[in-house]
């Protein structure tokens, strides 16, 4: 029994030694092959439908090393330096540069994905991406995203930066919620911050403003709004109200265009806005 165990351990150790030796030989072969391989082509992959970085700009970045990539030996191409040059661009989130055995230099670029465009009270215009980072506008591409403006004091220094103010973080959370929901992404055209630093939503259908307040309990607030859309507006029409107030999680307040009337709809269960009271209950 002891001899069998000993021979098994010897066999396992020998197998590991052979594998390690083979790996060393393979790596040596790759290095030798790489040292003699000439770069024949450069391929750039940019997944997605938004192209802040065009081919000309990629070509310009790749030439920062003051040498031609095509025709150079693969082992002499500074792939890490090229990656760092690409990552320095504010619209590039991820970059990887590597060469294959056939002499092709592969460039993989992941571009940042904005979800809204913000205009602050200082007339500074910038994007905010899906991670909550501020980005400058691009001369190459204009993203079709949610527009945000109003009394916004979020500063922008012209480079990639995180959000500084709570109001901007609330707006970002609201925009992200809207962007991830097909219904609200189609219905909400703009976000406005009023003089009271409250968030208002401007719909594509209807002339009323939707007073959201802040980004607390977004799921409940939008569920209450959906209940209002389903119960109240079909009875009185889309033009009946100038404001729909959903900033309170336990009620929806519809303010009529006539100013004298306002509609209060109580939501006894905030998770079931379909139980809102009949829209004919108007308080004078």
* Domains along the sequence of the chain with CATH: 41-111 (3.10.20.310), 114-283 (3.40.50)
pLDDT on residue 272: 39
**CA end-to-end span of the chain:** 96
pLDDT on residue 236: 78
Alpha carbon distance 150, 46 (integer Å): 34
Q: Convert the pLDDT of each residue in 232-279 to its tens digit.
A: 888 777 778 889 999 998 889 988 876 444 455 444 333 333 334 333
pLDDT on residue 268: 37
Reduced to 3 states (helix: H, G, I; strand: E, B; else coil), residue 149 is strand
Residue 72 has pLDDT above 90, yes or no: no
pLDDT on residue 78: 87
Alpha carbon distance 149, 123 (integer Å): 9
Please, which pLDDT band fits residue 21 given cuts at 50, 70 and 90? Answer: low
Strand-pair partners of 162: 133
Q: Convert the pLDDT of each residue in 52-65 to its tens digit.
A: 887 777 877 777 54
Chain-wide mean pLDDT for the chain?
A: 81
Share of the chain above pLDDT 90, in %: 45
Q: Convert the pLDDT of each residue in 169-223 to its tens digit.
A: 999 999 999 999 999 999 999 999 999 999 999 999 888 899 999 999 999 999 9
Share of the chain above pLDDT 70, in %: 76
Alpha carbon distance 238, 103 (integer Å): 63
Per-residue burial over 94-119, b = 16 or more CB atoms within 10 Å of its CB, e = otherwise? ebebebeeeeebebbbebbbbbbbbe
Q: Please tell me which residue, 140 or 264, carries the higher pLDDT value.
A: 140
Report the greatest alpha carbon distance in the chain.
99
């Amino acid at each position: 029994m002891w001899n069998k165990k000993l021979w098994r351990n010897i066999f396992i150790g020998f197998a590991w030694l052979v594998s390690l030796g083979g790996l060393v030989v393979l790596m040596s072969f790759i290095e030798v092959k790489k040292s003699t391989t000439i770069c024949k082509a450069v391929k750039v992959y940019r997944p997605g439908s938004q192209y802040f970085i065009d081919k000309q700009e990629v070509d310009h970045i790749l030439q920062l090393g003051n040498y031609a990539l095509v025709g150079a030996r693969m082992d002499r191409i500074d792939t890490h330096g090229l990656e760092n040059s690409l990552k320095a661009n504010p619209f590039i989130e991820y970059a990887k540069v590597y060469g294959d055995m056939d002499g092709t230099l592969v460039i993989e670029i992941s571009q940042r994905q904005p979800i809204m465009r913000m205009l602050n009270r200082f007339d500074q215009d910038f994007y905010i991406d899906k991670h909550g980072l501020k980005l400058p506008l691009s001369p190459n591409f204009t993203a079709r995203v949610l527009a945000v403006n109003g009394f916004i004091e979020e500063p922008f220094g012209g480079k990639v930066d995180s959000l500084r103010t709570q109001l901007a973080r609330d707006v970002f959370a609201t925009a992200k919620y809207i962007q991830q929901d097909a219904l609200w992404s189609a219905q909400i055209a703009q976000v406005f911050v009023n003089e009271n630093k409250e968030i208002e939503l401007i719909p594509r259908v209807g002339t009323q403003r939707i007073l959201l307040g802040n980004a607390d309990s977004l799921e409940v607030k939008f569920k209450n709004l959906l209940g209002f859309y389903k119960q109240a507006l079909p009875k009185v029409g889309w033009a009946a109200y100038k404001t729909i107030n959903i900033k309170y999680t336990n009620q929806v307040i519809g303010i009529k265009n006539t100013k004298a009337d306002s509609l209060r709809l109580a939501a006894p269960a905030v998770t079931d806005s379909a139980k809102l009271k009949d829209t004919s209950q108007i308080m004078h």
